[in-house]
Amino acid sequence: VQDAFLGGKHMCCFISLGNNISQTEREIQKKYKKCPDMREVCGLAVDKGTGETLGYIQLAFEGMPSSLHTVKQGECYVDSLAVSAAARGKGVGTSLLKWGEDVARGRGCDRMTLGVINGNPAMRLYKRFGFEVNKTDCCDEAIMTCVITCFFGRPYGLCHPNWGGSDMTKRLGEAPAAQAVER
């Protein structure tokens, strides 16, 4: 899923991320061996009928390695979330985020955070799920836009009006109360 997800994205406008940045199985095992707790916070969505992997989510908590973010106390960072092209729009991403929220609440977190490239269609999912775009100043926004442009070019169109990236946060607060079922 990760290779398929990254294969459509390019660094410096021409180097496929799927072939160059994707981790080998050995590198992934090394990362999990270094921090075994990361296995517990990686969710996988699998089709029960075919056994096909539909998507995955990797969470990070304070003290865990993260590729793009230093995780703070009380935070659950969505380090990566990917859904196979065939499974998009079928609730897989929502299910993975729900699982992630349950894990975050179980670990006493008060918020979930993630980073996303503006224009990514998954932003609609994140907003529906309760994530809000963090306010940034124009300097942070300009730096983020330059970094994303250098590494990814303009992945969602040359003239996309909101190019750059956004950090998003979902406040967890109290867990929703279970609804009573009338009989």
| pLDDT for the residue numbered 158 | 54
Residues of 53-89 as b/e, b for ≥16 C-beta within 10 angstroms? bbbbbbbbbeebebeeeebeeebbbbbbbbbbeebee
Q: pLDDT band at residue 122, thresholds of 50, 70 and 90?
A: very high
Q: What is the pLDDT of residues 17-55, one digit of tens each?
A: 444 445 567 777 788 888 888 889 999 999 999 999 999
The whole-model pTM stands at: 0.76
Q: Which two tokens stand for residue 69?
A: 């973010």
Of 96 and 32, more confident: 96
- Give the mean model confidence (pLDDT) for residues 108-134: 93
E-assigned strand segments in 19-105: 42-46, 53-60, 75-83
Q: What percent of the chain has pLDDT over 70?
A: 68
- Give the mean model confidence (pLDDT) for residues 66-83: 91
| pLDDT for the residue numbered 60 | 95
| pLDDT for the residue numbered 160 | 58
Q: What percent of the chain has pLDDT over 90?
A: 48
Residue with tokens 């529906």: 128
109, 61 in Cβ contact below 8 A? yes
Compute the distance between CA of residue 163 and CA of residue 146 in angstroms, rounded to an integer. Answer: 10
Cβ–Cβ contacts within 10 Å for residue 47, how many?
A: 13
Dihedral angle sign, alpha carbons of residues 120, 125, 131, 135: positive
